Amino acid sequence: MKLDERAIKLGPTRREFLKAAATSAVGLGLLRLGWGSGAHGAPVGPRDLVLWHWETPPHRVTAYDRLLERFRQETGIVIRQVPIAFPEYHTKILTAAPARTLPDLIFVNPPQFMLLLSNDLAVPLDDMFAELHGKVRFFSPYRDYEFQGKQWGVPLFGVSWPLTYRRDLHLAAGFVGAPATWGDLLSRAEKMHGPDLPGFTLPISTKGNYGNQVVWGFLRTNGARIVVGAPGKEKVVFNSRETIETYKFLVELARFTGPGAETADWASTELLVRTGRVQTLIYTGSPIGDIADKNPDLARRYAQAPVPRPSREHKHANTGYARAAMITRDAQRRGTVAAAKEWLRWITQPENNAEFLLANPGLFMPVNHEVVKAKIWLGHPFNREYKPIVHALTEAMKHISVQGFEDGARSPKAAAIEGSFMTARVLQRIVLEKEPVEQAVAWGHREYEKILGS
Amino acid sequence: MGPSRIREDTRQLRAARPTVTGNGVVSAAAYGKPSRVRAARWRDAGLGYALSLPALLWILTITLYPIVYNLWLSVHETGPLLQAPTFAGLRHYSAILKEAEFWKSLERTVIWTVGSLSATLLPGLGLALLLNQDFPGARLIRTWILLPWMFPIVVVAMIWVWLLEPTVGVANYALRIAGLTSQPVVFLSVDWAMVTVILTNAWRWIPFVAVNVLAALMNVPRELEDAAKVDGAGYWQRFRFVALPEILPAIGVLSLVLLMWFFNMFPLIWLITRGGPADATTILPVAIYKTGFELFLWGPSAALGVILFLFVAAMTGVYLTIIARYRIGAGGQW
In tens, the pLDDT along A41-86 reads 344 557 899 999 999 999 999 999 999 999 999 999 999 999 999 8
Q: Enumerate residue ranges in chain B where pLDDT < 50.
A: 20-25, 332-334
Instruction: Name which of A262, A271, A454 is nearest B277 (Cβ-Cβ).
Output: A262
Given this model, what pLDDT does residue A30 score? 44
Which pLDDT score, from 0 to 100, does residue B330 have? 53
Contact B228, B145 (CB under 8 A): no
Tell me if B267 sits within 8 A of B57, measured CB to CB.
no
Residue A433: CB partners within 8 Å, gap ≥ 6? B190, B278
B184 contacts in chain A (CB < 8 Å)? 259-260
By the 8 A CB rule, do A176 and A195 touch? Answer: no
Disruptive mutation site among A95, A262, A429 for chain B (greatest number of B CBs within 10 Å):
A262
In chain A, which stretches have pLDDT less than 70? 1-45, 454
Residue-wise over A84-108: b if at least 16 C-beta within 10 A, else e? beeeebbebbbebbeeeebbbbbbb
Which pTM was predicted?
A: 0.80
Give the CATH number for residue B236. Answer: 1.10.3720.10
CB < 8 Å to A209, chain B? none
> How many domains does the structure of chain B reveal?
1
Would you tell me which residues 77-116 of chain B have a C-beta closer than 8 angstroms to some C-beta of chain A? 77, 79-83
Distance CA A37, CA A16 (A): 30
Gap between the Cα atoms of B15 and B24, Å rounded: 17
Q: Are A361 and A289 in contact (CB under 8 A)?
A: yes
Of A98, A268, A432, which is closest to B165 when you measure between CB atoms?
A268
Segments forming the whole domain that contains residue B275: 99-332
Q: How many CA atoms lie within 13 A of B154 on its CB side?
A: 0
CB B253 within 8 A of CB B140: no
Tally the C-alpha atoms within 13 A of residue B284's C-alpha that lie toward its C-beta.
Answer: 28
Let me know: does A63 contact A118? Beta carbons within 8 Å. Answer: no
Give the gap in angstroms from C-alpha A273 to the nearest C-alpha of chain B.
Answer: 11
**B275 vs A120: CB contact, 8 Å cut-off?**
no
Residues of B in contact with A206 (CB under 8 A): 274-277
Strands A227-228 and A150-151: unpaired
> What is the rounded distance in angstroms from the CA atom of residue A50 to the CA atom of residue A103?
5
3-class secondary structure, A50: strand
Question: Contacts of residue A428 in chain B, CB cutoff 8 Å?
Answer: 276-278
Q: What is the pLDDT of residue B78?
A: 81
Examine residue B186 and state whether it is found in any structural domain, yes or no.
Answer: yes
> Residue B212 in 3-state DSSP?
helix
Own/partner contacts of A10-14, CB < 8 Å, gap of 24 or more, are none
**AA letter at A92:** K
Q: Is B221 on the interface with A (CB under 8 A)?
A: no
B151 vs B147: CA distance, rounded Å:
7
ipTM of the complex: 0.74
C-alpha distances out from residue B162 to A264, A273, B291, B293, Å: 12, 15, 28, 26
Q: For position B320, what pLDDT does the model report?
A: 79
| Opening angle at CA B242, ends B241 and B248, nearest 5 | 90
At position A142, the amino acid (one-letter code) is Y
CA atoms within 13 A on the CB side of A304: 27
Please answer yes or no on whether A119 and B296 come within 8 Å at the CB atom: no
**∠A336-A338-A343 over CA atoms, to 5°?**
95
B100-131 helix and B298-329 helix, angle to the nearest 10 degrees: 40
Subunit contact A454:B296, Cβ cutoff 8 A:
yes
Query: Number of A:B CB contacts under 8 A?
Result: 94
The structural domains of chain A, ordered by start, are 48-160+321-397 (3.40.190.10), 163-305+420-452 (3.40.190.10)
- The C-alpha atoms of residue A111 and residue A153 are separated, in whole angstroms, by 12
Instruction: Let me know: does A207 contact A265? Beta carbons within 8 Å.
Output: yes
Contact B79 A454 (CB under 8 A): yes
Q: Are strands A48-53 and A78-83 parallel, antiparallel or unpaired?
A: parallel
User: What are the chain A neighbours of B167 within 8 Å (beta carbons)?
Assistant: 258-260, 272, 277
| Distances, alpha carbon A190 to alpha carbons A175, A178, A307, in Å | 13, 15, 18
Residues 6+ apart with CB under 8 A from B275: A206, B269, B281, B282, B283, B286, B287, B290
Q: What is the rounded (10 degree) CA torsion for B104, B110, B115, B120?
A: 140
Classify A177 as helix, strand or coil.
coil
Predicted local distance difference test score (pLDDT) of residue B115: 97
pLDDT attached to residue B220: 87
What pLDDT sits at residue A49? 96
Contact status of B191 with chain A (Cβ, < 8 Å): no
CA pair distance B102, A327, nearest whole angstrom: 41
CB–CB contact B81 A97 (8 Å): yes
When CB atoms are compared, the residue of A119, A258, A432 closest to B278 is A432
Amino acid at B26: V
Name which of B90, B112, B273 is nearest B193 in CA terms. Answer: B273
| Identity of the residue in A94, A207, A262 whose CB atom sits nearest the CB atom of B80 | A94
**Is B161 contained in some domain?**
yes
Q: Which pLDDT does position B246 carry in this prediction?
A: 87
Partner A contacted by B184 (CB < 8 A): yes
Please, where are the H alpha helices in chain B? 3-15, 34-59, 65-74, 91-98, 100-131, 138-144, 147-150, 153-163, 170-177, 193-218, 222-230, 235-238, 244-264, 267-272, 284-289, 298-329
Whether the CB of B188 is below 8 Å from some CB of chain A: the reply is yes
Q: How far apart are the first and last CA of chain A?
A: 77
Q: Is residue B21 part of a domain?
A: no
Question: Which residues from chain A sit within 8 angstroms of residue B83, using beta carbons?
Answer: 119
Position B194 in a domain? yes
Answer yes or no: is B245 within a domain.
yes
Per-residue pLDDT reduced to its tens digit, A343-386: 999 999 999 999 999 999 999 999 999 999 999 999 999 999 99
The reply to whether residue A119 touches residue B80, judged by beta carbons under 8 angstroms, is: yes
- Does residue B8 sit in helix, strand or coil? helix
CB B168 within 8 A of CB A272: yes
How many Å is the maximal CA-CA distance in chain B?
80
- Report the residue of chain A nearest B191, measured CA to CA: A432
CB A281, CB A178: distance < 8 Å: no
